[in-house]
């Protein structure tokens, strides 16, 4: 909005003259080739004219721009509300201010002050410097008139990089800097728009005063103050417009204006042309800015970045960089950035050096195509074929030495910590434990306790103190570590044959229900991982039995085979089938005293590996069809585990990468490099209703470091590159078998997962997630903790035997599991000792210390979370989340303390039972009960919980008796805890009950009434516009102003919402059952005839021609919405079909909904005509009569078929009265009454149809 023909001619004026604003960022438009040349010129230092670019404080400038734009928005909005005319540029701002605010937030977030200061700079003509990436964006905006095109922007960037490559950080910053420059330009135009409006207001005031004055002297005096204003094109143009009315006063004022224009070398015609040009250019630029901001959000900048990055191009040409997934490629880039930042070489040169060290050369394959090849060998003679070994792998130190890298203090500290191995964890934890014991011992000594008493209490406190110390260490260490991602190939188009994977679900099948549940889960696994060479198998055993086989076993197995055959028929493939059932016969196990599957799950996987490698000497029953050949990986899942989308392909891609591929040393019988097993992150599922309980929500909200439920702490993976296998993950078949061969004796190991991960080497993959159910009942959770504790103590032989082959770090993990199982025992004993040996006040303090020792980590997390870590959160959202975490953390503490006595009893039972079986009986070491079996067999009533948790009652009684007999005042503290522990079975029973869903709404009768009315008005849209003209499809919208227009287009989401609305309309009682079926059938018939692509509807169709609208594309969101809606509609249709008589009569409340709307419409009709009052009263009386008639039918539903006819008759009278009112009033409000009266009659007719339908 350049408001002056020649701004340089405007002199300093009084304060009433609006200040001249900054010129827009605009220059001559350039095509792509010229932009490329311009970019090259910038790189060479050609910075003569950068169109107002000057150094400024970035964050301050964007804040000021936000403030200025908001001021203009508010003032313009107020002016429009007053009826003032606003320019199209101002209208762009009013309509899109939300987009502007969103963009400003993005810029602030993506360009923090520290990052902006690190951007390389470019010297301007005056010697000052600005970031060269900003100069690029600024120049592009100037020469494109703020019109954004990814291709054109790429041209100027490529031109710059033809002279000097941009850094990785600069390329990532370019989209945000482009947003910033557009906002800067919008700010300048917005301020000018506001100034233009002010100048028009001044001109209008001058015109009003001049036209109202007859005295020539007064007129001249008024005009004399506006000589400078007359030089402004906006003021002059507006004044000309106001003065051209032909009056004498106007004529003299025009003479003055023309004389003032002559002084500046202009005339009326010239300033009008100039002003119109300024307005039109400002309008175009503003429109370009808004469209550009939208386009920036639509562009996939990661693809754009990789297309312009010289480093990406280099890596793609010389290595297999293009085959990696995006996060792996980004990991390489980040490593190059870090290395270049702390060395004297550029990022491009660092990448070249890494490629040189990797020994990559380009050779021709058999077809003549060039492929990258490498021959980099380490000290052990191992060939590395990926540059990643030098960027993010074990040979990075070689690259650092070659480029002169200077590691930071944090990197040096982390490497020193990593080099310490298991001692890096044990020593700090031991030191923290000693510190806690020293503080406690000092406090106890000041109380005057005897030395034996102090020693006893500290000995009992040592284990709980170590729990707190370890949790605190892991939590604090995690604050200083970045989660690591394993590098992997991108198998988004499917797992290739060389990485063929078999997904298996080991399970016990004791009933048809077990089979159906497993088959359903396997089908879901397939749907989530359907691309490429992925096969699925149910590895099944019969439950333990006193006989080898019986008729029921055979029947269940045959049912499983039939279900697998059904799956293969539903999802046919070429070659090997997609689904298998591999079932084992029972063997008699003398140690267990029963017939069972050999070695349970461990045996299943071992025998499966043999079977995959052609060894048929297993207990698996013969297969009808052979297993797929050359299976490289096996993905093992539990029965209650669910995979996320493409999780299998992601894991296979990681395990196939040279950095992670296992290298087995046959002589040492160990995996020397890479990983055999990849353990994904495990997350508790979001359940509700009968599948949820208060216990589940509390214990699955804070996940802690329990290695069996949510994988081990990231500290082990991030620092030592070592994870823990928890039985759900991907393993390399050959390496797995080689590493475990002859390592584990029969009938000795129950919890084999951790041991297998230790011997075969496993990694925790935190960016791939699996979901599993957390038990809803405490009894089920307690059962599996008991089993895990037994399994941990059965590993004593591997822990104590130095020849077991277990690495030191894994041995520490096993010891830590034993310590964890001892913690509740020592915690309870320490509490009882405190109650017995300490007076009341000190006993209470001792108890608080014990509680704090267990929950140091959650407490630290809550305190650490008080201040928000991200600017994305609103204060309300942050503190709501903090309050929720605090509530759940407090509930977790309270429940764990409450259940501590039973946990101690249970752990003691597990430890004693295991030691007896290990060293005395050698029996029942493979005792196993699945979570499903525990859920089905365990009782859920109060008696069952007291029967299971009797140990807690015993501990509660004994814990109170000891301090009472010792005559200690600490018995008062003991009394409360004894009360809690004796009542803990009742609490456990209560918290294990099914919980209502958290999102269940409790709506008042008034709100229900209001919502039903709103819903009825919404349905009126569909019943009005979904017609045969639109092929029974819902138009996208109806425009009411300025003229009524129906938008004849629709989308899959619109169609799905309409179909769901038909079902809702039927449920609410607005349409008949036959009408609902007819509507659904008509729409589905139309859908079947619409053009599609691979079964998917396009995103937009013309409802009158059914042709898809251009540009043709398919929206995953819309297709998903339609699919979800169709599932719900299908369920409703199935429900209607199964019990048509139940659903034949509609809900009579639907009639009252329409009556309510009629009442409201009647009240809105003005009561200003006497002749309408009798009609209004009669209509109101009829509506009251309709209400009474409906209530009578609801009170006596058996008479509904007869009385609905009366409703239809009464509705006909109401329609006639409404028509009479409309004839008399002839207003839009009376038309609404007539329309809803017709709707009421149609609704009543629908109920008559329902009541008398014999079909």
Query: Do 803 and 759 form a contact (C-beta atoms < 8 A)?
Result: no
Alpha-carbon radius of gyration of the chain: 39
Using alpha carbons only, give the angle 463, 465, 470 rounded to the nearest 5 degrees: 95
Residue 685: name the closest of 696, 676, 695 by CA.
Answer: 696
Residue 371 confidence (pLDDT): 40
Helix locations, 1049-1115, DSSP H: 1052-1068, 1073-1089
- pLDDT tens profile 402-430: 999 999 898 888 888 888 888 888 899 99
The whole-angstrom separation of Cα 33 and Cα 40 is 11
What single-letter DSSP state applies at residue 918?
Answer: I
Whether the per-residue pLDDT at 622 is higher than 70: the answer is: yes
How far is it between the farthest Cα atoms of the chain? 124
- pLDDT tens profile 1237-1253: 888 888 888 877 777 66
The whole-angstrom separation of Cα 121 and Cα 975 is 72
Query: Do 169 and 119 form a contact (C-beta atoms < 8 A)?
Result: yes
Query: Do 338 and 349 form a contact (C-beta atoms < 8 A)?
Result: no
> What's the token pair of residue 517?
């549940």
Tell me the whole-structure pTM to 2 decimals.
0.81
Residue 11 confidence (pLDDT): 38
Whether the per-residue pLDDT at 1179 is higher than 90: the answer is: no
**Strand pairing partners for 729?**
636
Query: Do 579 and 568 form a contact (C-beta atoms < 8 A)?
Result: yes
Residue 689 confidence (pLDDT): 54
Higher pLDDT, 264 or 476: 476
> What's the token pair of residue 871?
């600017």
Residue 860 confidence (pLDDT): 66
The whole-angstrom separation of Cα 81 and Cα 163 is 54
Q: What is the DSSP string of 424-468?
A: HHHHHHHHHHHHHHHHHHHHHHHTT--HHHHHHHHHHHHHHHHHH
Cis previous bond, 1042, omega within 30: yes
Whether the per-residue pLDDT at 787 is higher than 60: the answer is: yes
The whole-angstrom separation of Cα 296 and Cα 707 is 44
Higher pLDDT, 480 or 591: 591
Residue 378 confidence (pLDDT): 46
Q: Name the least confident of 8-22, 255-269, 467-481, 1111-1125.
A: 8-22
Q: Which are the contacts of 592, defined by CB distance < 8 A and separation ≥ 6?
A: 544, 747, 923, 924, 926, 927
Residue 491 confidence (pLDDT): 92
In 3-state terms, what secondary structure has residue 732? strand
The whole-angstrom separation of Cα 463 and Cα 887 is 27
Higher pLDDT, 74 or 1211: 74
Query: Do 287 and 269 form a contact (C-beta atoms < 8 A)?
Result: no
Residue 705 confidence (pLDDT): 34
Residue 1158 confidence (pLDDT): 84
Higher pLDDT, 1195 or 1143: 1195
Query: Do 1251 and 1145 form a contact (C-beta atoms < 8 A)?
Result: yes
Kind plus residue range of the DSSP H or E element containing 960: helix 950-965
Query: Do 502 and 612 form a contact (C-beta atoms < 8 A)?
Result: yes
Q: Which are the contacts of 439, defined by CB distance < 8 A and separation ≥ 6?
A: none
What b-and-e string marks burial along 563-576, b requiring 16 or more CB atoms within 10 Å of the CB? Answer: bbeebeeeeeeeee
- pLDDT tens profile 998-1040: 445 677 888 888 898 899 899 999 988 999 999 999 999 888 7
The whole-angstrom separation of Cα 14 and Cα 7 is 16
Residue 196 confidence (pLDDT): 81
Kind plus residue range of the DSSP H or E element containing 767: strand 762-772
Sequence-ordered strand ranges (E) for 434-578: 501-508, 534-541
Residue 612 confidence (pLDDT): 93
Question: Regarding beta strands 370-373 and 361-364, do their DSSP bridges make them parallel or antiparallel, or are they unpaired?
Answer: antiparallel
Residue 838: name the closest of 438, 465, 445, 459 by CA.
Answer: 445
Residue 688 confidence (pLDDT): 57
Higher pLDDT, 20 or 961: 961
Query: Do 106 and 176 form a contact (C-beta atoms < 8 A)?
Result: yes
Question: Regarding beta strands 361-364 and 129-131, do their DSSP bridges make them parallel or antiparallel, or are they unpaired?
Answer: unpaired
Residue 1070 confidence (pLDDT): 87
- pLDDT tens profile 702-749: 443 333 333 334 688 888 888 889 989 999 999 999 999 988 888 888
Q: How many residues does the chain have?
A: 1255
SS3 of 969-1036: CCHHHHHHHHHHHHHHHHHHHHHCCECCCCCCCCCCHHHHHHHHHHHHHHHHHHHHHCCHHHCCCCCC
Residue 1000 confidence (pLDDT): 58
Q: Name the least confident of 196-200, 336-340, 982-986.
A: 196-200
Adjacency order of strands within the sheet including 633-636: 579-583, 534-541, 501-508, 633-636, 729-732, 677-684, 762-772, 641-643
Residue 708 confidence (pLDDT): 39
Residue 712: name the closest of 726, 699, 701, 702 by CA.
Answer: 726
The whole-angstrom separation of Cα 339 and Cα 350 is 7
The whole-angstrom separation of Cα 223 and Cα 1197 is 85
- pLDDT tens profile 272-290: 777 777 777 778 888 999 9
Residue 674 confidence (pLDDT): 92
The whole-angstrom separation of Cα 1121 and Cα 179 is 32
- Residue with tokens 């710059």, as numbered in its chain: 160
Mean pLDDT over residues 263-280, rounded? 75
Query: Do 736 and 676 form a contact (C-beta atoms < 8 A)?
Result: yes
Q: What is the DSSP string of 1099-1156?
A: S-EETTT-PBPSSP---HHHHHHHHHHHHHHHHHHHHHHH-TTTTSSPPTHHHHHHHH
Residue 100 confidence (pLDDT): 92
Whether the per-residue pLDDT at 47 is higher than 50: the answer is: yes
Residue 852: name the closest of 880, 836, 831, 867 by CA.
Answer: 831
Using alpha carbons only, give the angle 570, 572, 574 rounded to the nearest 5 degrees: 175
The whole-angstrom separation of Cα 925 and Cα 749 is 7
- Residue with tokens 């959650």, as numbered in its chain: 858
Residue 365 confidence (pLDDT): 39
> What's the token pair of residue 1240?
């009421």
The whole-angstrom separation of Cα 982 and Cα 1165 is 70
- pLDDT tens profile 510-555: 899 999 999 999 999 999 998 899 999 999 999 999 999 998 999 9
The whole-angstrom separation of Cα 595 and Cα 18 is 96
- pLDDT tens profile 351-397: 999 999 988 544 333 333 334 444 444 444 444 468 999 999 999 99
- For all residues of the chain together, what is the average pLDDT? 84
In 3-state terms, what secondary structure has residue 940? coil
pLDDT category at 225 given cuts 50, 70, 90 is confident
pLDDT category at 12 given cuts 50, 70, 90 is very low
In 3-state terms, what secondary structure has residue 769? strand
The whole-angstrom separation of Cα 168 and Cα 129 is 20
Whether the per-residue pLDDT at 593 is higher than 60: the answer is: yes
Whether the per-residue pLDDT at 195 is higher than 50: the answer is: yes
Percentage of the chain beyond pLDDT 70 is 89
SS3 of 306-375: HHHCHHHHHHHHHCCHHHECHHHHHHHHHHHHHHHHCCCCCHHHHHHHHHHHHCCEEEECCCCCEEEECC
Question: Regarding beta strands 587-589 and 594-596, do their DSSP bridges make them parallel or antiparallel, or are they unpaired?
Answer: antiparallel
Mean pLDDT over residues 336-342, rounded? 93
Residue 899: name the closest of 1047, 781, 1076 by CA.
Answer: 781
1069 phi and psi, to 5 degrees?
Answer: 85, 30
The whole-angstrom separation of Cα 538 and Cα 507 is 7
Query: How many other C-beta atoms can be found within 10 angstroms of the C-beta atom of residue 834?
Result: 26
Residue 156's Cβ-count burial label (10 Å; 0-12, 13-18, 19+) is buried
The whole-angstrom separation of Cα 911 and Cα 1070 is 66
């Amino acid at each position: 909005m350049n408001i002056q023909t020649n701004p340089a001619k405007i002199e300093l004026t009084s304060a009433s003259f609006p200040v001249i604003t900054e010129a827009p960022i605009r220059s001559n438009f350039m095509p792509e080739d010229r932009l490329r040349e311009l970019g090259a010129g910038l790189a060479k230092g050609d910075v003569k004219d950068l169109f107002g670019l000057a150094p400024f404080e970035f964050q301050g400038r964007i804040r000021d721009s936000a403030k200025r734009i908001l001021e203009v928005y508010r003032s313009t909005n107020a002016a429009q509300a007053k009826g003032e005319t606003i320019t199209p540029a101002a209208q762009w701002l009013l309509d899109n201010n939300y987009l502007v605010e969103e963009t400003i937030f993005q810029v602030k977030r993506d360009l923090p002050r520290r990052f902006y200061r690190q951007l390389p700079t470019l010297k301007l003509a005056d010697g000052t410097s600005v970031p060269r990436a900003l100069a690029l964006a600024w120049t592009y905006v100037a020469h494109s008139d703020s019109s954004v095109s990814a291709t054109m922007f790429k041209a100027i960037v490529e031109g710059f990089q033809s002279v000097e490559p941009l850094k990785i950080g600069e390329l990532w910053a370019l989209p945000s800097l482009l947003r910033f420059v557009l906002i800067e330009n919008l700010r300048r135009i917005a301020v000018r728009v506001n100034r233009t409006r002010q100048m028009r207001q001044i001109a209008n005031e001058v015109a009003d005063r001049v036209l109202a004055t007859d005295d020539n002297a007064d007129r001249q005096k008024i005009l004399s103050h506006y000589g400078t204003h007359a030089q402004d094109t906006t003021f002059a143009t507006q004044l000309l417009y106001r003065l051209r009315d032909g009056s004498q006063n106007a004529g003299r004022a025009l003479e003055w204006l023309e004389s003032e224009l002559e002084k500046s070398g202009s005339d009326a015609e010239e300033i009008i042309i100039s002003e119109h040009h300024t307005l039109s250019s400002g309008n175009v630029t503003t429109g370009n800015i808004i469209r550009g901001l939208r386009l920036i959000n639509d562009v996939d900048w990661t693809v754009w970045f990789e297309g312009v990055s010289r480093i990406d191009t280099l890596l793609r040409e010389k290595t297999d960089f293009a085959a990696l997934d995006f996060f792996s490629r980004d990991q390489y880039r980040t490593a190059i950035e870090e290395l270049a930042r702390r060395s004297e070489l550029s990022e491009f040169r660092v990448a070249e050096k890494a490629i040189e060290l990797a020994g990559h050369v380009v050779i021709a394959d058999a077809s003549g195509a060039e492929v990258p090849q490498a021959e980099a060998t380490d000290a052990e003679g191992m060939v590395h074929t990926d540059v990643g070994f030098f960027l993010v792998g074990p040979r990075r130190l070689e690259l650092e030495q070659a480029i002169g890298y200077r590691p930071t203090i944090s990197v040096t500290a982390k490497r020193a910590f990593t080099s310490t191995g298991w001692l890096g964890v044990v020593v700090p934890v031991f030191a923290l434990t000693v510190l806690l014991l020293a503080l406690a011992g000092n406090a106890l000594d000041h109380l005057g306790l005897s030395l034996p008493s102090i020693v006893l209490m500290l000995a009992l406190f040592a284990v709980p103190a170590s729990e707190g110390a370890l949790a605190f260490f892991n939590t604090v260490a995690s604050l200083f570590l970045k989660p690591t991602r394993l590098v992997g190939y991108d198998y988004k188009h499917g797992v290739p044959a060389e990485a063929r994977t078999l997904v298996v679900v080991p399970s016990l099948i004791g009933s048809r229900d077990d089979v159906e549940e497993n088959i359903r889960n396997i089908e879901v696994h397939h749907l989530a991982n359907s691309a490429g060479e992925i096969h699925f198998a149910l590895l099944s055993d019969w439950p333990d039995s006193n006989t080898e086989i019986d008729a029921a076993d055979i029947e269940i197995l045959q049912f499983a085979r039939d279900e697998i055959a059904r799956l293969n028929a539903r999802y046919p493939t070429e070659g090997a089938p997609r689904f298998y059932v591999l079932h084992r016969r029972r063997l008699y196990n003398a140690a267990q005293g029963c017939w069972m599957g050999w070695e349970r799950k461990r045996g299943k996987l071992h025998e499966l590996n043999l079977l995959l490698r052609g060894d048929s000497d297993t207990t698996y029953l013969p297969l009808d069809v052979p297993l797929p050949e050359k299976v490289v990986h096996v993905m093992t899942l539990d029965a209650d585990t669910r995979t996320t989308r493409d999780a299998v392909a992601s894991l296979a891609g990681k395990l196939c990468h040279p950095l992670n591929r296992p290298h087995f040393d046959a002589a040492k019988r160990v995996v020397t490099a890479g990983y055999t097993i990849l353990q994904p992150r495990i997350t508790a599922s979001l359940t509700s209703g009968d599948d949820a309980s208060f216990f589940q929500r509390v214990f699955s909200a804070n996940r802690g470091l329990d290695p069996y439920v949510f994988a081990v702490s990231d500290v082990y993976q991030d620092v030592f590159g070592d994870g823990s296998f928890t039985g759900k993950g991907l393993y390399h078949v050959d390496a797995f078998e080689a590493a475990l061969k002859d390592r584990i004796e029969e009938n000795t190991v129950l919890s084999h997962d951790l041991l297998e991960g230790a011997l075969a080497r496993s990694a925790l993959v935190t960016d791939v997630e699996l979901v599993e159910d957390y038990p809803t009942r405490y009894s089920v959770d307690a059962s599996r903790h008991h089993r895990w504790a037994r399994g941990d103590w059965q590993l004593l032989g591997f822990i104590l035997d130095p020849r077991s082959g277990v690495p030191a770090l894994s041995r520490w993990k096993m010891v830590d599991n034993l310590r964890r199982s001892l913690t509740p025992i020592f915690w309870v004993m320490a509490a009882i000792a405190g109650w017995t040996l300490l007076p009341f006040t000190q006993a209470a303090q001792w108890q608080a210390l014990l509680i704090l020792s267990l929950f140091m980590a959650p407490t630290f997390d809550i305190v650490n979370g008080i201040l928000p870590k991200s600017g994305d959160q609103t204060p309300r959202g942050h503190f709501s989340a903090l309050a929720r975490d605090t509530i759940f953390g407090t509930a977790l503490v309270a429940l764990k303390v409450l259940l501590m006595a039973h946990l101690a009893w249970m752990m003691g039972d597990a430890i004693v039972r295991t030691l007896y079986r290990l060293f005395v009986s050698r029996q029942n070491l493979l005792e196993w009960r699945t979570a499903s079996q525990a859920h089905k067999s365990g009782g859920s009533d109060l008696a069952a919980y007291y029967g299971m948790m009797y140990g807690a009652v015993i501990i509660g009684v004994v814990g109170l008796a000891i301090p009472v007999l010792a005559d200690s005042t600490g018995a008062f503290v003991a009394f409360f805890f004894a009360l809690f522990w004796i009542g803990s079975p009742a609490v456990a029973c209560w918290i294990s009950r099914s919980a209502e869903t958290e999102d269940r709404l409790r709506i008042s009768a008034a709100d229900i009434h209001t919502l039903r009315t709103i819903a009825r008005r919404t349905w009126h849209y569909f019943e009005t516009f979904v017609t045969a003209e639109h092929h029974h499809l819902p138009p996208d919208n109806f425009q009411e102003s300025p003229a009524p227009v129906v938008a004849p287009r629709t989308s899959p989401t619109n169609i799905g919402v309409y179909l769901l609305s038909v079902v809702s309309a039927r449920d609410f009682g607005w349409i008949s059952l036959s009408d609902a079926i007819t509507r659904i059938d008509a729409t589905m018939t139309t859908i079947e005839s619409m053009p599609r692509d691979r079964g998917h509807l396009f995103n937009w169709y013309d409802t009158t021609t059914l042709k898809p609208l251009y540009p043709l594309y398919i929206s995953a969101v819309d297709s998903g919405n339609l699919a979800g809606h169709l599932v719900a509609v299908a369920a409703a249709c199935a429900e209607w079909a199964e019990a048509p008589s139940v659903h034949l009569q509609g809900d009579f409340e639907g009639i009252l909904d329409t009556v309510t709307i009629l009442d409201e419409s009647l009240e809105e009709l003005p009561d200003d005509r006497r002749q309408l009052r009798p009609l209004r009263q009669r209509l109101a009386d009829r509506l009251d009569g309709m209400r009474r008639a409906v209530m009578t039918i609801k009170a006596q539903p058996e008479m509904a078929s007869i009385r609905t006819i009366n409703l239809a008759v009464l509705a006909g009278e109401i329609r006639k009265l409404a028509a009479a009112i409309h004839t008399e009033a002839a207003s839009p409000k009376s038309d609404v009454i007539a329309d809803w009266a017709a709707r009421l009659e149609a609704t009543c007719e629908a109920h008559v149809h329902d009541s008398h339908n014999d079909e």
